[in-house]
Amino acid sequence: MANRAVWSAAIEVLQIFSSTLVFLVLAKVLLRSEYGVMTGIMGAVLPALSLSNVGTHILLMRRAARSENLTDAWRKALTLGLAGPTLATLLMLSIHPLLYPKGNVPWSVYALFVLAGLPFFWLSEMVAFLPIGLGDLRTAAAVRAATFGCRIVALGWFLTFSAGSLIEWAAVHAVSFAVAGVLGVVIVGRRYGLVPGLASGLASDVREGLPFSMNGATENIFDGADKVLLLRYDLTDDAGIYGLGARITQFGYAPIRILLRSRDSELYRAGGVSLSAAFGVTRKMLVPGMALGVGAAVAFWICAPLVPILLNDPKWDDAVPAIRLLAFLPAIRSVQYLMGNTLSASDHQQWRFASTALAAVLNIVLNVIYLPTGTWRTAVATTFVSEVILVVTLCAVVWYWLRREPEGSSNDVDASQ
């Protein structure tokens, strides 16, 4: 357990460090409006990515955790993980005028971020889930390290050779993820003796994985819809402020992700027995998980005024109240992740999706009604209303299914291991 936690922490540290460097450079170099454009594009890309990957990472991790055929699982994941995001890329490129009718998002910038965020990023991300499912977090960390290295090289090139424009960052951003994806496939293939290949007869995988991807899409709508709509309504500066606040508070999710990842393989094994068994694993993480979320909220509230000072740029002074308001999201999300992962691990993913979809629709409706005459504060308010409703709904669903299971089913997990 301690060894898994160390490697889980290493994975998150690599991601946080590279993300922090990128965030600091872009916040310093780009105009606030350019930062708003970038976050608005990513707000549209991430839901498309989640939907198009048809849950390949979860299926890959679950099959590995349950000792199914690795070669078959690997080839199916590669096939769907490349085909789905590639098709989504073509669709996203075609709807650019519909998403941003005011012409404030250049097509070239948009196209590069779509390529980076869909097929390129997904390949670099998905390959790490095979070793995570096997409990081999050391190899997962090696995959993350490859991505980290590519990101650092890209950032160095941007600072040294570019003029600091958004289009230049979009280009080097796309190349870095393309290279990282190839390196990840090589690392995992050599570690487990797996040769890249394509699979057929994937209809059952699509049906099985779609609830996971639909849930991921709705979760990303939470994070992205308000950014897209701020940009759509030409509130570009507000999109920059809200995007910066959201980006900073995302670092607060790292502690809870470290905790969850260190027990992912255990949770999914228990989930193969019953929801009660999975909740037995979750219950051990509940108090420390909530404590981590609250601690992150307090830290962000106290440290928010340091952000403009750290960036040495007064254009971000207005972001301080945004950071402080959004600082409470990690505390709320800690409960969401724990309850949601319990449902996913125990084959109740459709209930997690339904709960998340309900809250996401509410978020969109509230934004469409109030955002055209609002500001970034409006986006914060609609986010919190939706987030709280989702927490309540997920807790209610877990409680409902726990009540329906026979007593003692959680004890069966010991016999299955």
In 3D space, the residue among 226, 248, 213, 231 whose CA is nearest the CA of residue 109 turns out to be 231
**pLDDT for 98-150, tens place per residue?**
888 888 899 999 999 999 999 999 999 999 999 988 988 889 888 988 998 99
Phi-psi region of 194 (alpha: psi -120 to 50; beta: other; left: phi over 0): beta
Q: Could you tell me the CA-to-CA distances from 56 to 82, 305, 373 in Å, in that order?
A: 10, 40, 40
Please give the structure tokens belonging to residue 380: 């914060």
Region 398-404 average pLDDT: 91
Which helix (H) or strand (E) element contains residue 35? helix 32-52
In 3D space, the residue among 149, 207, 182, 208 whose CA is nearest the CA of residue 17 turns out to be 149
pLDDT at residue 86, as a whole number:
95
Q: How confident is the model at residue 259 (pLDDT cuts 50, 70, 90)?
A: confident
- Is 43 within 8 Å of 224 (Cβ atoms)? yes
Rounded-to-integer distance, Cα 358 and Cα 390, Å: 8
- Is 6 within 8 Å of 141 (Cβ atoms)? no
Q: What percent of the chain has pLDDT over 70?
A: 94
Report, in this order, helix, strand and coil percent for the chain, each rounded to 5.
85, 0, 15
DSSP line for 300-338: HHHHTTHHHHHHT-GGGTTHHHHHHHHTTHHHHHHHHHH
Please give the torsion angle defined by the CA atoms of residues 303, 390, 383 and 282, in that order, rounded to the nearest 10 degrees. 20
pLDDT at residue 7, as a whole number:
63
Domain boundaries, the chain: 2-416
Q: Could you tell me the CA-to-CA distances from 3 to 64, 66, 370 in Å, in that order?
A: 19, 21, 48
In 3D space, the residue among 218, 246, 234, 244 whose CA is nearest the CA of residue 375 turns out to be 234
Rounded-to-integer distance, Cα 183 and Cα 287, Å: 38
Residue matched to tokens 């709509």: 229
CB atoms within 10 A of CB 194: 18
**pLDDT for 42-64, tens place per residue?**
999 989 998 899 999 989 998 99
pLDDT at residue 400, as a whole number:
93
In 3D space, the residue among 308, 328, 325, 322 whose CA is nearest the CA of residue 242 turns out to be 322
Q: Which amino acid is at 175?
A: V
Rounded-to-integer distance, Cα 229 and Cα 54, Å: 25
Q: Strand, coil or helix: what is 79?
A: helix
pLDDT at residue 417, as a whole number:
44
Backbone angles phi, psi at 67, to 5 degrees: 60, 35
- Is 380 within 8 Å of 322 (Cβ atoms)? yes
